[in-house]
Amino acid sequence: MMKSNFLKVAICLVIVFAVAFAEKICPNCGTSNPDNARFCKKCGTRLPEPEARPALPRLRVETAISGNAVTITSEPSEASVSIDDEERGKTPITISDLAPGRHELQVRHSGYQTYYSSFTITARLATLVITSDPVGAEIFLNGVYKGKTTETGLTISRVPYGSQSISARLPGYFEVTKLIEVKEPGPLGIFFKLGTSRGFLSVETRPTGADVLANGRRLGTTPLISELAPDRYALTISRPGYEDWLGYVNIGYGETTKVVQSLSRLPRRQLPIFLTGIALFAGGAVSAFMAEQSYARYQEATTTEEAIRLRTETQRWDQFRNIGIG
């Protein structure tokens, strides 16, 4: 214990004497001066100040936000960028997969001070103005009631970007539904013309037996004639083993719109050669074989449900094959 205390006292004395007897040497006459002296005590020459370590220069960084994307530039470039402690690349860089909210930014470059900052991505929202003829129609956005139209329209705020379903209902008139794609803040005007009479859609396909969907609602199988409210419809025609047909039709009051379409059969896939893959990755080869079997059954499916199940099964076996063979 005494030896330890003696060692501590000795270290303190060394530090005190080092500070007390620190000296500056005069560059003119060579005289030793106290470390805190500014002028030589013998010749009066100004003594040099201790050299200070130069600070690192600042890194110039600029950020520009557009929607859910941020563009980051720096001077000099090739600086490493981290967002929320995740490395994203080097400047200049544009990152467009950011969720709404606050994000922490860190930019680093050798020989420069690290740059720290934060930025906020705001949710992309739009404003819709709904009008109808006649007025007073009840408006539903994605099945949620939003109010009734007036002479100046019904304003719906804070509508997210993307696909939206809007329906207009008025007693004594046929309900009309529109599918819209919101891509800008607006205000976006949407007009509903409500009628007491309907139009007709006639669909014929080669081969027959194809499912027909209008604005996502199933109408039946071909050949068919369906009564619809006058409007513009997104039409989908599908049959197991054939490529889907997508298009648009306009239904007018008291009119029949006819669609005649030949469906294209899905091409048969050729089984790849897996000589090397079979030898090295037997599991992947088996998965590939199973995928081909499922796809073959998918082409011969007789119902929509069976086609969906077999298509999902084919995709699953393809994933196993990619893992096993790469």
pLDDT of amino acid 77 = 93
Model confidence pLDDT, tens digit, residues 166-176 = 999 998 788 88
Q: What pLDDT is recorded for position 269? A: 58
Q: What was the pLDDT predicted at 285?
A: 63
**Across 181-190, 211-220, 317-326, least confident range:** 317-326
Which part of the chain has CATH 2.60.40.1120? 125-193, 199-262
pLDDT tens digit sequence for 46-67: 887 765 556 789 999 999 987 6
Model pLDDT for residues 201-244, shown as the tens digit of each residue: 999 999 999 999 998 889 999 999 988 877 889 999 999 999 99
Q: Write down the CATH superfamily of domain 125-193.
A: Carboxypeptidase-like, regulatory domain (2.60.40.1120)
Output the CA angle 44-49-50, nearest 5 degrees. 140
pLDDT at position 2 is: 47
Fold adopted by 60-121: Immunoglobulin-like (2.60.40)
Token digits of residue 267: 């091409």
**Tally of CB atoms within 10 A around 218:** 11
**Cβ-based neighbour number of residue 110 at 10 Å:** 9
Whether 119 has a pLDDT exceeding 80, the answer reads: yes
Q: Report which DSSP code applies to 246.
A: E
User: What pTM did the predictor assign?
Assistant: 0.36
pLDDT confidence tier of residue 132, bands split at 50, 70 and 90: very high
Peptide bond between residue 171 and the one before it cis (omega within 30 degrees of 0): no
Q: Which helix (H) or strand (E) holds 188?
A: strand 188-193
Give the domain 199-262 fold.
Answer: Immunoglobulin-like (2.60.40)
Q: How confident is the model at residue 90 (pLDDT cuts 50, 70, 90)?
A: very high
pLDDT at 283: 58
C-alpha distance from residue 225 to each of 66, 133, 200 (Å): 47, 27, 7
Whole-Å CA distances, 198 to 56, 180, 227:
75, 22, 6
pLDDT band at 282 (very low <50, low <70, confident <90, very high): low
Per-residue pLDDT, 191: 94
What would the two tokens of residue 44 be?
């009066």
The pLDDT value given to residue 245:
92
**With 0-12 CB in 10 A as exposed, 13-18 as middle and 19+ as buried, what is 7?**
exposed
Phi then psi for residue 20, to 5 deg, are -65, -35
pLDDT by residue (tens digit) across 142-158? 999 999 999 999 999 88
